[in-house]
Amino acid sequence: MDLSVRQEKIIAIVKSDGPITGEKIAGKLNLARATLRPDLAILTMAGYLEARPRVGYFYSGKSGSELLTEKIKKYKVNEYKSVPVVIRENMTAYDAVSTFFLEDVGTIFVVDEHSCLIGVLSRKDLLRACLGNQDLNTMPVHIIMTRMPNITICTGEDLLIDAAKKLITRQIDGLPVVKKTEFGLEVVGRITKTTITKVFVELVTNDEL
């Protein structure tokens, strides 16, 4: 976040004289208290300053990048997950190819009758299947998918940054978001490289508002 000259001055005053009331900050800047109100609100919301009733403003001591890190570390998978695209294990590789095109996704999750996770299919799995001379119309997806327990998963309560790290370390494009049920791990969402890219852009866009 780019601070205005006046906001920088306010931070400098609070740094040297805090805790200090809004009234006193205004006095030092020869401005009316009301004029400063929006700046103080922005600096408090962004985390540069902390406000305590009847005491005044404190400098939080945190740099812009520390505040950004703190913000990112609060993002949970649940707030950002998108709708999962799933198919049943007895569907054919041909059905899977159609689903990839129709749903415009790069990862499909294979589930049982309780919507519980049993496999993952990526584009490369299907390309590999095409290399053999078998008929995709009769090939069930369960022969070509990556299956449990070899699937990297995440839950809604996980931090988004941890899900992003899994995408990098496992070199995969997507993670199923799962919820434990009596039948297994129900697929309730997905986190993909696109999710993380959107958040990255949103961070900058929100900051500019």
Binding site for ligand ADP (CB under 6 A): 106-107, 120, 122-125, 146, 150-152, 171-175
DSSP-derived pairing of the beta strands 184-192 and 117-122: unpaired
Min CB(114)–ligand ADP separation in Å? 19
Min CB(173)–ligand ADP separation in Å? 4
In the complex with ligand ADP, the residue whose CB is nearer, 30 or 169, is 169
Element (H or E) spanning 57, and its range?
Answer: strand 56-59
In the complex with ligand ADP, the residue whose CB is nearer, 19 or 106, is 106
Min CB(107)–ligand ADP separation in Å? 6
Min CB(135)–ligand ADP separation in Å? 21
Name beta bridge partners: 178: 155, 187
In the complex with ligand ADP, the residue whose CB is nearer, 60 or 115, is 115
**Residue sitting closest to ligand ADP (CB):** 124
Query: Tokens representing 119?
Result: 């496999």
Q: How far apart are CA 75 and CA 160, in angstroms?
A: 6
Q: Is 156 exposed, middle or buried (0-12, 13-18, 19+ CB in 10 A)?
A: middle
Give me the phi and psi of 182, to 5 degrees please. Answer: -65, -20
